[in-house]
Structure 1
């Protein structure tokens, strides 16, 4: 009764200016869903919730990678209805994720398979999240096989970056991120105003 998210939110996606402009100006052109095995919220189109600056920094950081397709960093804005959301800031859904994890562990053990792992980098961050991706994807599969409604989106908090100050509980790049699984949740795109 209380788990459906009401209202619209703003999401921001860091990308190349040419992609941003095509999404806004070309009818039918959409962002591709990310389907990497390390996507921490599972497969979907990723947005930073109400965080234009973080989306821009992401695009700027990505541009430094020689294999990146980003030549001119930009931000695409989106008006989003989360719909039926697997919200990892809600206790109900955290319990569901835990049950899925335990079920996945049992299945992997039964078949003698190695469970995917999250990888912690030298600076202590967990940016490659293969286990989390597998758990989220399995949650979707188990939900549907049990006759549940398919989740439209996934929402979670990500603690990233260096401590904001000594002994801080906050990081420089903390953010809420959403992965849109159902493209109908995106009600419109816009080019954010410059400040």
Structure 2
């Protein structure tokens, strides 16, 4: 009953200039979900919640040529919010169901791993998490007769990067990430503007 987000949020996305232009000019009809097997929150379109700076840093770290940061006004709709204990319990149940399904088929579970080219200990390649979240979505689609409403979005908090300072409980790349599955949750795209003095 409380799984629906009550308001609008801003999300930010870094992409090539031509893709940004297409998204802004078509109000999102150029929506193209990511469908990599390592996507942290499953398949969908990704945004940094309330952080154009983090989107910009992502573009720099990934060396995206001619990168532009765009903003989006988002209604998360029915959200699988992984800051909520009930949502986390659904994810845990989905993991055990996926594990049993793969074991019955003689298939191994995927793993979350750190990239070989990086010195970071962060699990940046999230094949297990992606598989579990996508499996949960598939379960809910199958169980719609049991009134299992599909999720429009997924929201997760991530602690990433080096310690912010010695002994810190914060990391340099902490962020909230949003994965939009239902394109109708995107109310519009915009180019962020700079704050003006007043």
Q: Give the TM interval when normalised to the shorter protein.
A: over 0.9
Tell me, in whole angstroms, the C-alpha distance in 2 between the residues paired with 1:80 and 1:161: 27
Question: Offset at 1:31?
Answer: 3.4
Does the alignment pair 1:73 with 2:70? Answer: no
- Report runs of 4+ in structure 1 exceeding 3 Å deviation: 26-29
2:172 is paired with a residue whose SS is coil
Question: Offset at 1:73?
Answer: 1.8
Which ranges of structure 1 fall in alignment gaps of 5 or more residues?
A: 64-69
Contact conserved, 2:28 with 2:188, CA < 8 A, in 1?
no
Question: Offset at 1:123?
Answer: 2.0
State the partner residue of 2:17: 17
How many residue pairs get aligned? The number is 189
State the partner residue of 1:58: 58
Q: What are the superposed Cα offsets for residues 148-186 of structure 1, whole Å, 9 maximum, x if unpaired? A: 111100100111111111121110000000010000000
Q: What are the superposed Cα offsets for residues 65-94 of structure 1, whole Å, 9 maximum, x if unpaired? A: xxxxx3212101000000011110111110
TM-score (norm 2): 0.91
Which ranges of structure 2 fall in alignment gaps of 5 or more residues?
A: none
Contact conserved, 1:48 with 1:55, CA < 8 A, in 2?
yes
CA RMSD of aligned residues (A): 1.4
State the partner residue of 1:143: 140
Tell me, in whole angstroms, the C-alpha distance in 2 between the residues paired with 1:149 and 1:91: 18
Tell me, in whole angstroms, the C-alpha distance in 2 between the residues paired with 1:185 and 1:8: 9
Question: Offset at 1:29?
Answer: 4.4
Does the alignment pair 1:164 with 2:158? Answer: no
